[in-house]
Structure 1
Amino acid sequence: MDDKPHGSRDSSNQSNGENVGLQQRSTIRALIQDFSPIWVTWSMNLGILSTLMHTLPYQFSGLRTIAAVLYVADLVVFILCCTFMSLRFIVHGQTAWNEITNDVNELCFMACFPISFMTLTGGTALIVSTSTWGGYAFTVVSYVMWWIVVVWCMVFGVGIYVILTLKNLTESRNLTLAIILPAVATSTAAVEGGIVSVYGNGITARMAVPAIIVGFMLVGIGFFLGMTILALFLNRILANSWFDGVKRPTLMMLLGPTCQSTAALLILSMAASMHFPEYNKGTFLHETTATALHGACVLLALMVLGLGIFWGLWGVYGILDAVVKGEAKWTPAWYSSLFPTGTLNTALTLFAEEFDSPAFRVLSAGLLILLTINGIVNAATPFVPLPSDKY
């Protein structure tokens, strides 16, 4: 017979329940306090995969359904990330602000939030407005979203560089590629403005032309600012050799400014050809200028793409060098490899349409397969048990 009083047993059970509750609350609090902006790259990755699958030159039954599912997943992940980041600032206030603004990587990855919102903007125009249940209303929604995110990425871009200047967080010998993200954000805004202008269901010239003009201005910011930062980063590598192997996957961010600018030039020139003839005002916004602009943008896009391929090959070598030397390990840094490579895929897809080229179609399809594998592996790796020496 158990001599332990029932009251003691009940007290013990209550104590255990309280301990479990405290542990659960501690886990949630830790998740909120330690939430990093790098996790929002998952939203970016889902968004660009959704767009690429929807626009892939080689379509098969169900692919656009998969693209729509990824769009919804992108929306869910984005909302979750915004919720956790907001809770981090609400609960921890000044501490959270200091932690982010004193860490150059955390600070620069904040630019991923407007980039993620942009993938939803383009997806709303490309997938939702053209669906049987969508329509022009969602074109208007995507158009409004685009103007919001243009302001958002400009405020974040200027703000991030101002904070970097005031706090003196970077040095040439330890320059991180994350500082290129605000520039990538502006180029991405240009691409999404072109997508809304070209694919938005029922969009008018009066709506599209202002977006096209602002889009070209954003290309100027993203491309030239990105080239300045890439020059600084090249100087850092030449002077100090490669950085830590576990961070090498971030080298794929080298593709961002060039390939997004390539895609932006192509999609904005397509939009100009569609809408300038109807708009037909002033000495520039008419059909003749649109034809010349289109040709010039395609030529410039080819040159910028060549530069992007150079940076991409250089980055791939850096990653392979780390793999061969056994320095490459899985970290969340691998999440940052998908979206920049996806910008190259976007450019290839647009060139396939522009040139009606089987070669570009095959390249874009092959790269999309690799990106999909990348996404699946990165999604599975954190949950696959590995020997401790693999971390």
Structure 2
Amino acid sequence: MSSGGDSLPKRAPEKQEEQGNNAPAVGIRGRVKHVTWAWFLSTMSTGGLSIALAETPHKFHGLYTIGLIIFLFDLCLFTLLCVCMLARAVLHFHHFKKSFTHPAESYFLGSFYLSISVIIGSVQLYGVTYGPGYPWLISTINVLYWIYAAVSLLNSLLQYYVLLAYSAVRPVPFLPSAFLVGYSAMLTGTISSLIAGHQPPGRATAIIISGCAYQGFGWIISLICTAFVIKNLMENGLPPAHLRPGLFIPVGAGAYTIVALIGQANAIPETYGYFAAHPAAKSILQTIALFGGIFLWLFSFWIFAIAVMVNASVMGKMPFALTWWAFIFPNVGFTLSTVMVGRELGSEVILWVGSVMTALLVAIWWVAFVGCVRAVWLKRIVWPGKDEDKDR
């Protein structure tokens, strides 16, 4: 995942903005110009953490409140970023317009939609699954699901088309952040697995079937992207230190697919439609989902282990970049998939592994959060020549 477009052609030196603390004073208006789409990596990861806390198997008194606070913080942060993006569009329209046609930033547009997906998932978990479950909220979530399904699919179509037709860079480079385009549609399937079991049978059936289709669509795109990532690593070697957290992104493709398939199978309404006519279907699909999930889990672990080794080799030498948030969101999926496999197998050992992974996610979130605040304060990001828009 490129947080600075290092693999893209650079502008001529005389056209580049002065950088860092040696640059003239930059006010709020000047800094808003450099609030890029990559900032939504922070909200999709924060929202993902709230989901992981809600689903962790070993809970203690007050954990629900902690997770709810993180979710509300995520909502506030998402709102703030949306306001900054709106201000950027109004104050720097031409610069903002280019964010859709330059791969270094445009690939990160998917993180905006992913942030919405985890908000919907958190509303489900804290408002319905483990919350009051008001009928109006259940109906609202159903509407939000279908709106997100339509918008995420439209985005996955238009974003690739815009880059193919109007990219500011030729050839259009493949960057690990390209995963986010397919991820935004793929998370429709994950949301479906969270909400279907609490919807009326008719709605649940439609959500499960559509979610399965979306999950397959996103996973296949991610599988293609994974092949490109491995090919690029073989040809070009390891990326710069600050870009290496992006290598965790492929972990989430298989992991969220495990979550989606097992969750969808468990949410099947046995007395409705196709499933009423085929009473054995739910049991069969639950078995297929579990063993299909186990089949995918080791591949996700393999990618995870490689990413850990690659990042551990530069520990202490990695300057902060917004890609640090990639330490969290993909591994939320990996944690949830581990927990779901443990629940299905009734394995307390696997469930404890999932709980430890959740605790590690909290620790890593704090590292990323402190690093992010510090980088803003020290003018290392949201500053001329420092962000994903520096090649424009």
Q: Give the letter aligned to residue 359 of structure 1.
A: V
Kept after mapping to 2: 8 A contact 1:184/1:226: yes
1:307 aligned to 2:299?
yes
1:373 aligned to 2:372?
no
- CA distance in 2 between counterparts of 1:329 and 1:66 reads 30
The 3 A distance-change label for structure 1 pair 132 and 186 is closer
Kept after mapping to 2: 8 A contact 1:41/1:336: yes
Q: How big is the shift at 1:102?
A: 3.7
Higher-Rg structure is: 1
- CA distance in 2 between counterparts of 1:179 and 1:208 reads 31
2:353 maps to 363
Q: Give the letter aligned to residue 215 of structure 1.
A: G
The 3 A distance-change label for structure 1 pair 176 and 91 is same
1:16 maps to none
Q: How big is the shift at 1:295?
A: 1.1
Q: Where does 1:78-227 land on structure 2 (aligned, <5 Å)?
A: 78-98=78-98, 100-130=99-129, 133-167=132-166, 169=169, 175-198=174-197, 200=198, 203-227=199-223
- CA distance in 1 between counterparts of 2:372 and 2:46 reads 17
**How many pairs were matched up?**
355
The 3 A distance-change label for structure 1 pair 176 and 60 is same
2:251 to 252, 255, 260: 255
- CA distance in 1 between counterparts of 2:158 and 2:236 reads 29
- CA distance in 2 between counterparts of 1:384 and 1:180 reads 28
- CA distance in 1 between counterparts of 2:230 and 2:185 reads 22
- CA distance in 1 between counterparts of 2:282 and 2:300 reads 26
Kept after mapping to 2: 8 A contact 1:255/1:341: yes
Q: Give the letter aligned to residue 312 of structure 2.
A: L
2:233 maps to 237
Q: Give the letter aligned to residue 122 of structure 1.
A: G
Q: Structure 2 unaligned segments of length 5 or more: list them.
A: 1-23, 382-392
Question: When the two structures are superposed, what TM-score results if normalisation uses the length of structure 2?
Answer: 0.84
Tell me: higher relative CO, structure 1 or 2? Use CA pairs within 8 A at least 6 residues apart. 2
Q: Give the 3-state SS of the residue equivalent to 1:287 in structure 2.
A: coil
1:55 maps to 55
Moved over 3 A (4+): 130-134, 167-172, 282-286, 382-385
Kept after mapping to 2: 8 A contact 1:266/1:298: yes
Q: How big is the shift at 1:167?
A: 3.9
1:278 aligned to 2:260?
no
Q: Structure 1 unaligned segments of length 5 or more: list them.
A: 1-22
Q: How big is the shift at 1:214?
A: 0.5
1:15 maps to none
Question: When the two structures are superposed, what TM-score results if normalisation uses the length of structure 1?
Answer: 0.85
Give CA-to-partner distance per residue, 1:153-211, whole Å, 9 cap, x none.
11111112112222454759x6310001112222211011110112x3xx211111101
2:323 maps to 333
Q: How big is the shift at 1:87?
A: 2.4
The 3 A distance-change label for structure 1 pair 196 and 242 is same
Q: Give the 3-state SS of the residue equivalent to 2:223 in structure 1.
A: helix
Q: Give the 3-state SS of the residue equivalent to 2:59 in structure 1.
A: coil
Kept after mapping to 2: 8 A contact 1:164/1:170: no
Q: Give the letter aligned to residue 185 of structure 2.
A: T
Kept after mapping to 2: 8 A contact 1:269/1:293: yes
The 3 A distance-change label for structure 1 pair 284 and 113 is farther
Q: How big is the shift at 1:283?
A: 7.5
Q: Give the letter aligned to residue 220 of structure 1.
A: G
Query: More helix per residue: 1 or 2?
Result: 1
